[in-house]
Amino acid sequence: MPQKKSVPKYWQDGHVFRGESIHHNSDDNVARKMRTSMFRSVESAIRRVSTSSPSTSTSSTHFARQCLSSESTPARKVAVLGAAGGIGQPLALLMKLNPLVSSLSLYDIAGTPGVAAVVSHINTRSEVAGYKSEDQLAQALDGCDLVIIPAGVPRKPGITR
C-alpha cells in the first residue's frame, strides 16, 4: 500500500508551487488578499500622514483615539491619480468607504467623471470630485494629505510581461 506524502503547511494554504496553485480558486483568494492588503496599507498611510504633522504636539495614541472615535473625524483629502483604470476604480471605492477620508479627488488622463459619479453615490460623508485634463491636475492635488498613483502605461504591441 503506497504511503501518503506529507505536504508542507504553506502548500496547504494555497501558495503557488511551480506555477500551479493548490486551490482552484486561488485567483479569487489572491485578489481578495491583495485588496485587503492594499486597503490596510493605504489606511496606515493616512494615519501616518496625520501623525507626522509637525504642528501637533499630541501623542500618537491620542490621535488614534481621535480617528477611531465616532465624535469627529479629521479632515483628510486623498487624491487617486489613475482612477479610471482597473486598480484605480476599486481603490477609489475603498477610499470612499474609509471613514478617515473626508475629500476624494479622482484624476485620470482618460477622464473620471463617470467614476466620480458612481463613487459619489456611496452613502458616506466624504466628498468626491473628478478631474480629467492636465489643466485640472493642480486642482486635484491642491491640499492633499495623501496621493495614491495606481496609474500605468498600456503595453505596446509585441511587449509581454
pLDDT in tens, 143-153: 999 999 998 87
Distance of alpha carbon 91 from alpha carbon 88, whole angstroms: 5
CA 63/CA 19 separation, integer angstroms: 45
The pTM (predicted TM-score) of the whole model is 0.56
Over residues 29-88, the pLDDT tens digits come to 666 666 666 667 777 777 776 665 555 444 555 555 555 555 566 789 999 999 998 899
Q: Under the phi-then-psi rule, with left for phi > 0, alpha for psi from -120 to 50, and beta for the rest, what region is 82?
A: left
Domains of the chain: 72-152 (3.40.50.720)
* Orientation angle between helical segments 113-120 and 88-97, nearest 10 degrees: 30
